[in-house]
A = this chain, B = another copy of it.
Amino acid sequence: MKEIYLDFAATTFVRPEVKEAMEPYFTREFGNPGSMHSSGLHAKQALDYAREKVAKTINSRIDEVYFTGSGTESINLAVKGVARACKRAGKGNHIITSRIEHHAVMDSCKDLEKNEGFRITYLPVDKFGLINLEELEKAIAPETILITLMYANNEIGTIQQIAEIAKIAKKHNVLFHTDACQAGYELSVNVQELGVDLMTLNGSKIYGPKGVGMLFVKKGTPIVPIIHGGGQEGGLRSGTENIAGIVGFAKALEICQNAREKEAKRLTKLRDYFIKELFKRIPDIMLNGHPVQRLPNNVNVSILSIEGEAVLLKLNEFGIYASSGSACTSHDLEPSHVVLATGVPFEVAHGSLRFTFGITTNKKQLEFVLKALPPIVKELRNLSPVKLTLKDIEREIEKQKALAASVKVG
């Protein structure tokens, strides 16, 4: 049975060219860049070259690129590192984020809130998953030090207006970090154009190795380390450098960014075709996220009256690999906090299904899925005690809106 991997937002394979670039650094060029001999020097050169390549790709200074052990670590460093630096400098303790962030952002914020005296604003999103820029600006207080909002959502694919948000942040003299983990493959990560102060990327979502992340930190940004030690990465992230991984990351990012416009075009076409056909072939489904302002490789639909997990297991029998939410939380069976944040009811969020495309995705694979899925849905719906229609959902959403409006004070 052929496998159809449609879970590229969960993780990607390592591209052959990336693997090849990493190859020398396992057994041959294995030195510690901190060592004062030729073996160390070669490692140091490889590290410098990778950093240069990344800086060129994201259009930053070389000394603004910091390598870490994962996207999650980069995010923790950005959020906690800036928060602690600002607090120690007496600059305030308020952070603005949203309700649809990755757990790395959310749980870093929650930890700062619970244990270090920070105040966090979790901005709501509209039904497409978009932040309201006026609400964002209103949330800024004199003690606000950091805004952290994701570039493109890992679950519903909604792309935020990063450059606009950056302008608002700058206007109010607030630092802005964006989690760009899902954006590296298809969107521009040019930090000058985006105007961000900090940006997170990681290898495992851009056909690079797992276990490598990157944090862009604009020169002059107040930030302290979360991991102390030998002083690597300009003192901001200690630990013997993972040269093979870093070289692979740099190569992967370069390839993705060079190919991104062409690839985005190709995937957008596939995405829109797939969505259109899904709606044609399966009644009572809803698209989660924005119809246009969304990642070219992301399709997220809620199939009413059935559970996403059940569909996934059936698809798996056909060799089709999809997801019901982010991989990071898919083992707990709670519905996605992201889909819920867009205002869809609990039972609809439970039926969400995510297909994320990548290098190997083609129309033939999608045709196969489009054939396999409708009978699965039909079978599961026959077994389901719940019989929901789109009309029920719309009514439910209206009811919730009215309820929400009625309890608003002042």
Contact = CB atoms under 8 A, between A and B. Distances in A.
B230 A328 contact: yes
Contact-size category for A: 35 or more
Given A13-B27, A72-B239, A329 B211 contact: no
A54 B167 CA distance: 49
Given A75-B229, A230-B72, A242 B210 contact: yes
Nearest to A210: B242
A311 to B, nearest CB: 10
A31 B322 CA distance: 11
B72 A229 contact: yes
A130 interface: no
A327 to B, nearest CB: 4
A193 to B, nearest CB: 28
A103 interface: yes
A407 to B, nearest CB: 31
A52 to B, nearest CB: 19
B39 A5 contact: yes
Contacts of A14: 26-27, 30
A229 B154 CA distance: 14
A231 interface: yes
Interface in A161-204: 202, 204
B40 A239 contact: no
A35 B19 contact: no
A39 B327 CA distance: 12
Given A228-B108, A238-B104, A327 B72 contact: no
Nearest to A181: B240
Contact of A323 (B11, B36, B76, B103): B36
A278 to B, nearest CB: 19
A229 B328 contact: yes
Contacts of A309: 36
A3 interface: yes
B73 A239 contact: yes
A241 B37 CA distance: 33
A88 B115 contact: yes
A209 B76 CA distance: 24
A212 B30 CA distance: 15
Contacts of A330: 34-36
Given A210-B245, A240-B11, A76 B229 contact: yes
A238 B107 contact: yes
A316 interface: yes
Contacts of A69: 68-70, 73, 211, 239, 242
Interface in A1-49: 3, 5, 7, 10-16, 19, 26-28, 30-32, 34-40
B71 A240 contact: yes
A212 B211 contact: yes
A229 B111 CA distance: 10
A363 B5 CA distance: 53
A139 interface: no
A386 to B, nearest CB: 21
Interface string A296-324: 00000000000001001101100111111
29 contacts: A3-B39, A7-B31, A7-B32, A7-B35, A11-B32, A19-B26, A31-B321, A32-B204, A34-B326, A34-B331, A35-B330, A36-B316, A36-B331, A37-B315, A37-B321, A38-B321, A70-B242, A71-B239, A76-B229, A103-B231, A103-B238, A104-B230, A104-B239, A110-B228, A210-B243, A211-B212, A211-B245, A229-B328, A230-B329
